């Protein structure tokens, strides 16, 4: 099994946009992964306005 396939099996993150509300549904591993991305964006040396695009292939 490839590492990418293993990682995809470990965490799940789903988003929905409905009526102006963004819902994030995730398992424990998905929440940890998302939190890691957000903590990295919160670092002092990250330029203002820097952002990430999340899709089904982000690791």
Res. 59 pLDDT band, cuts 50 70 90: very low
Q: Is residue 15 part of a domain?
A: yes
- Read off the pLDDT of residues 9-55 as tens digits, 9 standing for 90 and up: 678 888 899 999 999 999 888 888 889 889 999 999 999 999 887 77
Whole-model pTM: value is 0.66
Is position 49 within any domain? no
**Would you say residue 46 lies in a domain?**
no
Domain membership of residue 23 as a residue range? 3-41
Residue 36 lies in a domain: yes
11 within domain boundaries: yes
CA distance 59 to 46: 19
Residue 14 lies in a domain: yes
Domain count, the chain: 1
Residue 51 in domain: no
Q: Which of 25, 32, 24 is nearest to 7 (CA)?
A: 32
């Amino acid at each position: 099994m490839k590492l990418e396939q293993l990682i995809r099996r470990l965490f799940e993150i789903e988003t929905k946009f409905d009526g102006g509300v963004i819902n994030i549904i995730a398992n424990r591993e998905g929440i940890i992964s998302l939190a890691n991305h957000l903590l990295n964006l919160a670092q002092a040396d990250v330029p203002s306005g820097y952002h990430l695009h999340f899709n089904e292939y982000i690791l």
